[in-house]
Amino acid sequence: MEDLVAAALRAAKERGQDVADVPLTAIATAAGVSRSTLLRRLGGSRAALDEAVRRAGVDPGGRRPVRERAIEAAAHLVAERGLGAITLDAVADRAECSLPSLHTVFEGRDGLLAAVFLQYGPLPDLEVLAADPPEHLEDAVRALHHTFLASLADEPRIIPAVFADLLSRPDGPAARMMAVHMPRIVDGLGRVLLPHVEAGRVRPLPLPVLVQLLLGPLLSRVLMRPVLEATLGTGLPSLEETIDLFTEAYLRAVAPSGSDESAPGGEL
């Protein structure tokens, strides 16, 4: 089988294709055998060849790229087991790819986890919002709540696992992951909120305080959701109702001193 793997890799390189996309006739020619002989040696199917190529540390292709499969697999493993339990071996097994390919694509575990946070965290949607934020403060605050709620509550639930790791290990993988993306998150929040500070619609509080006032209640609501739902049941407001209440509370908390326009529907 080693000679067939070598022939397949050689043919793929010459044609500029993934192994899975190279016709068997071309592989047979590279191996110096007929197509029928190649099929006989493969047991009638190229699946054995693809698996042999994979064991050799090369993704034969013909499927979604390793990067996409690995990020999806890692995200589900994080949601199931937590950040601390994630290993590249487990991700490679779930994603059906080789360990060397993960090292090549992500340069290690931290690179993979950073890619998971980038895809499943709030940053992509936040940057879209920050590029064209709502004009009115109330609309902007509500949009920020919805943006962060999507990444907090949607499956696979990555952000709760991130915060669990942050609380248990301040120097763990979640801290390193957040260090990569936090500057962009803060920048996005600043682009939405600071124009309202400059316009006098929001008290000139430090940006970290504005962010904590905004996200603290929402984080508490989502992270405690399982307990709250089990305890309060139908007495718990829906997420949409919760966002309305949190938006109103935020507007009142950040309103300039003496302002009576902080309630939703005002001039903010």
Residues of the chain with pLDDT > 70, as a percent, come to 93
Contacts of 44 (CB under 8 A, 6+ apart): none
Cα gap 170→176, rounded to integer Å = 9
The pLDDT of 97-108, averaged and rounded, is: 84
Residues of the chain with pLDDT > 90, as a percent, come to 33
Return the structure tokens found at 98: 């080789």
| 258 pLDDT above the threshold of 80 | no
Cα gap 13→62, rounded to integer Å = 15
State how far the alpha carbon of 18 is from the alpha carbons of 13, 39, 118, 232, in Å.
8, 19, 27, 54
| 70 pLDDT above the threshold of 80 | yes
The burial of 4, by beta-carbon neighbours within 10 Å (0-12 exposed, 13-18 middle, 19 or more buried), is given as buried
Alpha-carbon Rg for the chain, nearest whole angstrom, is 26
Degrees (nearest 5) of the Cα angle 18, 21, 25?
Answer: 120
> What pLDDT digit, counting tens, does each position of 165-219 carry?
888 888 888 888 888 888 999 999 999 999 999 999 999 999 999 999 999 998 8
Report the pLDDT value the prediction gives residue 248, as an integer from 0 to 100: 95
Which residue did the predictor score with more confidence, 259 or 92? Answer: 92
| 268 pLDDT above the threshold of 60 | no
User: Sorting pLDDT into bands at 50, 70 and 90, what band is 139?
Assistant: very high
Report the pLDDT value the prediction gives residue 172, as an integer from 0 to 100: 84
Report the pLDDT value the prediction gives residue 185, as an integer from 0 to 100: 92
Cα gap 265→12, rounded to integer Å = 63
The burial of 175, by beta-carbon neighbours within 10 Å (0-12 exposed, 13-18 middle, 19 or more buried), is given as middle
The pLDDT of 46-50, averaged and rounded, is: 80
Report the pLDDT value the prediction gives residue 27, as an integer from 0 to 100: 85
Cα gap 108→86, rounded to integer Å = 12
Degrees (nearest 5) of the Cα angle 154, 190, 206?
Answer: 110
Which residue did the predictor score with more confidence, 195 or 232? Answer: 195
